[in-house]
Amino acid sequence: MMKIDLSKKVALVTGATGELGRVISSSLAVCGADVAIHYHRNRERGEALCNEIKRQGRRACVVEADVTQLASVEAMRERVESELGPPDILVNTAVIQYTWKSVLAQGLEDYEGQFRSCVLQNVVMAQVFVPAMIRKGYGRIIALNTECAMQNQPTQSAYVSGKRGMDGVLRVLAREIGEHGITVNQVAPGWMISEKDRRNGTERQEFYDKNVPLRHRGVDQDIANAVVFLASDLAQFITGAYVPVCGGNVMPAI
C-alpha cells in the first residue's frame, strides 16, 4: 500500500489561519510533517492551531510576517529555522480579500494589493527559502491559485490579474530550479465548503452546484489532500502543474 509519509519534513504554510490554511496545516501534520504556522493578524487562531498540531505529536511554531515584504519574510525565516529548521515544503496560501467590482469600479489599490499578495508573495518566498532547498537538493513549493483564473467572470478582474500573474512566476520558477530536485506546483480550488459554511448551513449553493460536473461543491479537505500529495514523494515527477480541485468546473485542455 502506498502511503504519504512527510515525517522528518518541515512545512511552512502562509495564511495558515485562514479557512483553507488551517486544514492544510493539520493535514500536513497528520502525514508527519512539522509545521510553521504563518499569520499576519490573527495570532490567537495561530496559537490554537499550533497547539492542535502539537497534540498530534508534531513540532509546530507560530510566526508573523507580511509576506509581501522581503525584510519581514527574512525575519520569519530566522524564526522558523531556529525552532524547526529550514523548510522542505512551502505552501503559499495567503491572499488579500476585498469586495469584487467591475473593472470600471474596482479601486486601483485592489489591483496593487492582489499583485503584492499573489505575485510578490511567491517571488519573496522563493528568494528567501529556495536557496536552502538548493543546498539540500530537495524542496516542494505549492501555491494556491483559483478556478477563477480560467473563468475570467465579471467582477473578478483584480483577483484574476493577481492569480494569473503568480501562475507565470511559478511556471518560470519550476523551470529554473527543477534541476535541484525542487518541484513547483499550484492547486486551484473551486468554491469550497469550509468550516464557516458548516457553521452557517450554507454548504449547498444551487446556482453554483448545477454547473459543476460532479453536481456539488468540494470541501476544504479536498484541497488539503491535493497539497499533501504534491508535497509527497508520490508527486516527485510533477512540476509546473496547475491542478484544479473543483469537481471539473474548469478543465485545462491540451
Q: Is residue 65 a contact partner of residue 76, using CB atoms and an 8 Å limit?
A: yes
> Active site residue: 39, 159, 208, 242, which one?
159
* Cα–Cα distance list, 98 to 26, 107, 157 (Å): 26, 10, 12
Q: What are 133's three cell numbers?
A: 532547498
Is-catalytic flag, 98? no
The DSSP symbol for 93 reads: -
What dihedral angle (degrees, nearest 10) is formed by the CA atoms of 188, 74, 171, 173? -160
Residues 6 or more apart whose Cβ sits within 8 Å of residue 134: 177, 180, 182
Q: Which residues belong to the active site?
A: 159
